[in-house]
Structure 1
Amino acid sequence: MNFGERLKKLRGEKGYKQITVAEKVGIKNNTLSSYEASKRQPDFDTLKKLANLYDVSIDYIITGNEHSNSPDEMWKEFLDPKTQIFFKDLQNAPEEKINELISFWEFIQERDKKK
């Protein structure tokens, strides 16, 4: 089950119509529809509002893991548009390029420690 299907399921469990949820979290109905169809992903603030409304964690909405509760700051960082661009490209990258990127990042961290 993907995040859109989980959102739709959670809404159904609460007995809400899309328009009701959209109004409660301050988004347009067609935006919520796009989320539930997995055509778009909510930003951190909207995701937090949805999690609160449905009384679940952000982890559950995104991953389906009921027993995980990562800090909000982690999700805020991960869902930042700049970060998403980075991870989107990494999803389809070959393992050797990912390892090269990790090495480069470690080099930058070491360089910055010396400053």
Structure 2
Amino acid sequence: MKDMVQFGLQIRQLRKMNHFTLRELGERSGVSYSFINSIENNRFNPSRETVIALADALNSADKDELLLLAGFAPTDEESLDAPSGPGVSDIDDPEVSLFFKDFQSAPKERRDEMLRFWHFIKEQQINRTPDSEQ
């Protein structure tokens, strides 16, 4: 669940626990110190990549917890080790490609819901007769 106020407080707390100034955290993470300040003060929402960069720079930070607070799905190490096959970039239809990108970045609950819907559509297709309307 997205909780940007809590996310900003958590980043500030972790930064102070590590005895980092905004500039030091900026140098370690590659994120500008002014943007980190804006995140801590809830003026801007970070991208997934920014959350990961901050988590990597902050010792004792739980990357998955920070991702969840920022409204992103946690990291999935198993999917990184999955056998390679056709990817989203191999799809020619832009709408389908966007759907799969949304699916990949969605939280687990949303992916489960999308899969249930997909299975429903497949089941309807199987039971459809040639003369029935779509």
Q: Indicate the percent of aligned positions where both proteins have the same amino acid.
A: 17
Structure 1: unaligned runs, 5 residues or longer: 74-81, 88-100
More helix by share: 1
The total of aligned residue pairs comes to 88
Aligned partner of 2:26 among 12, 22, 25:
22
Q: State the TM-score, normalizing by the size of structure 1.
A: 0.54
Once residues 18 and 64 of structure 2 are traced to their aligned partners in structure 1, the CA distance between those partners, rounded to angstroms, is 19
Pairwise CA RMSD: 3.8
Q: Please say if residues 22 and 33 of structure 2, whose CA atoms lie closer than 8 Å, have aligned partners that are also in contact.
A: yes
Partner of 1:106: 118
Once residues 109 and 25 of structure 1 are traced to their aligned partners in structure 2, the CA distance between those partners, rounded to angstroms, is 44
Partner of 2:65: 60
Q: Please say if residues 48 and 67 of structure 2, whose CA atoms lie closer than 8 Å, have aligned partners that are also in contact.
A: no
Structure 2: unaligned runs, 5 residues or longer: 80-100, 107-112, 127-134
1:17 to 1:59, Cα distance in 2 relative to 1, 3 A: same
Select the structure of larger CA radius of gyration. 2
SS of corresponding position for 2:44? coil
The code of the aligned residue for 1:57 comes to: D
Partner of 2:95: none
Runs of 4+, deviation exceeding 6 Å: none
The code of the aligned residue for 1:60 comes to: E
The code of the aligned residue for 1:40 comes to: F
Once residues 10 and 22 of structure 2 are traced to their aligned partners in structure 1, the CA distance between those partners, rounded to angstroms, is 14
Partner of 2:39: 35
Once residues 121 and 17 of structure 2 are traced to their aligned partners in structure 1, the CA distance between those partners, rounded to angstroms, is 46
